[in-house]
Amino acid sequence: MTLLAIALGGFLGAVLRFGISQKIQGMNGILIINCAGSFLMGLSLHIAIQTNWLAIFWMVGFLGAFTTFSTFAVQFVESWSKGEHRKAIGYALFTVLGGFLSVLLGWWSGAVL
């Protein structure tokens, strides 16, 4: 049951990420996806999920597949290799800081609910 929950959540998260990245292409799309997923992960820390498989489906499967560190890393390297060093560094800083701030914002939001 656990592997099925991860697989189903992962499938849905990956499909949604792909759809959003097609509408908002490039670094901005991945930045938005990663920050939104980080916010939802932080929010999920405070929402009581009654069943273990639902937590695994949502946090490990869906949000794990929705957010993507590998695409972030590839886009950083592509920009850097084109000589766009400021753009690459800015993207890395916005992604990392935005991810942390999004988790905190989600966590605080969940504490208020």
Residues 75-111: tens digit of each pLDDT = 999 999 999 999 999 999 999 999 999 999 999 999 8
Q: Which domain holds residue 93?
A: 2-112
- Checking if the pLDDT of 26 tops 80, the result is yes
| pLDDT, mean of residues 10-39 | 96
Neighbouring C-beta atoms of residue 19, cutoff 10 Å: 10
Is 64 assigned to a binding site?
yes
Q: What is the pTM of this model?
A: 0.89
Q: Report the alpha-carbon angle 48-39-58, nearest 5.
A: 50
For residues 46 and 111, the answer to whether their CB atoms sit within 8 Å is yes
The verdict on whether residue 67 carries a ligand-binding annotation is yes
User: Residue for token digits 């509408």?
Assistant: 23
Three-state secondary-structure class, residue 25: coil
pLDDT tens per residue across span 30-77: 999 999 999 999 998 877 565 688 888 999 999 999 999 989 999 999
pLDDT value at residue 21: 95
Are residues 17 and 65 in contact, defined by beta-carbon separation less than 8 angstroms? yes
Q: Count how many domains the chain has.
A: 1
Residue matched to tokens 């993507």: 68
